[in-house]
Amino acid sequence: PKHVQLYRAFGWDAPVFCHLPLLRNADKSKISKRKNPVSLNYYRRAGYLPEALLNYLALMGWTMPDGHEEFTLAEFIEHFTLERINLGGPVFDLTKLTWLNGKYIRACPAEEVLARLRGGLLSDDYLLKVIALAHERVETLEDFVDYAGFFFVGELTYDGDAVKKLVGKKHTPRESATALQTLLDEVLDPVLEWTAADLEARLRAFVERIDWKAGDFFMPVRIAVSGRAATPPLFETMAVLGKEVCRRRLRRAVEVLRALPEPAAAE
């Protein structure tokens, strides 16, 4: 293995390594960054507490002697033994992680929850980025909450009008799903510099490549990442939302499109 070769190259004594089985999806397939959020930044941004995520990941390959599922890092260290490692392929269940995270949040005093919100989703840095995009487009502070609300939620829901715009007027659900999936796989996944300027250049080049009109493609992308047709400029919006959030929302939009019936063929 490469990590062992590195130890040898530097002349260091290598420790004894223990490897756990790879995490799997609910369908037993290997977790892939193309299909799942695997970045810690995504879970941090989505509001998962570090101690909850650590607790859950520990459960993926190990169990407490008494079988209880909630434990601190100190308790984990105290009771950990190699003999209790589970060698079966663990399934990463986001629903269970969310449930466990909720228990941790409910155990926090209100003041601590406020501090964590200010340190993450409601940090001054993030709020200022959102305000910079939205403040010229609202009339009251209450408007701001409605107009920019999608910057502060996890999963989006698409109402009937949004789904229609997700499909577009000139394309079928399958065509739109294929276009968005190709955008994800071939354009957005490789992006390292997630900036508005770079995103605009890449998306415009992609539109030319697939021979769609810009408006016909950018509206489904806008709906996918925001859930609404009226937003701040698309590329700036995507830059502020961040790569992991945009990728996850686009994947969700593809799922919605693929579940729609195809229009009946003209006779």
**Lookup result for tokens 């980025």:** 129
Amino acid residing at 42? Y
129 is catalytic: no
- Those residues with Cβ within 8 angstroms of residue 122's Cβ, 6 or more apart along the chain or in another chain: 152
Structure tokens at 25: 């999806």
Contact between residue 257 and residue 233 where contact means Cβ atoms under 8 Å apart: no
Contact between residue 87 and residue 21 where contact means Cβ atoms under 8 Å apart: yes
C-alpha to C-alpha distance for 196 and 183, rounded to whole angstroms: 16
Number of DSSP helices (H) and strands (E) in the chain, helices first: 14, 0
Considering the candidates 30, 33, 103, 164, report the single residue annotated as catalytic: 33
Long-range pairs, 166-170, Cβ under 8 A, ≥24: 166/220, 166/223, 166/224, 166/253, 166/256, 166/257, 167/220, 167/257, 167/260, 168/216, 168/217, 168/219, 168/220, 169/216, 170/213, 170/216
Tell me the C-alpha to C-alpha distance, in Å, between residue 93 and each of 11, 40, 51, 66, 169: 41, 16, 17, 22, 37
Query: 24 forms bridges with which residues in the sheet?
Result: 30, 91
Structure tokens at 101: 């995270």
Amino acid residing at 179? A
Positions annotated as catalytic residues are: 33
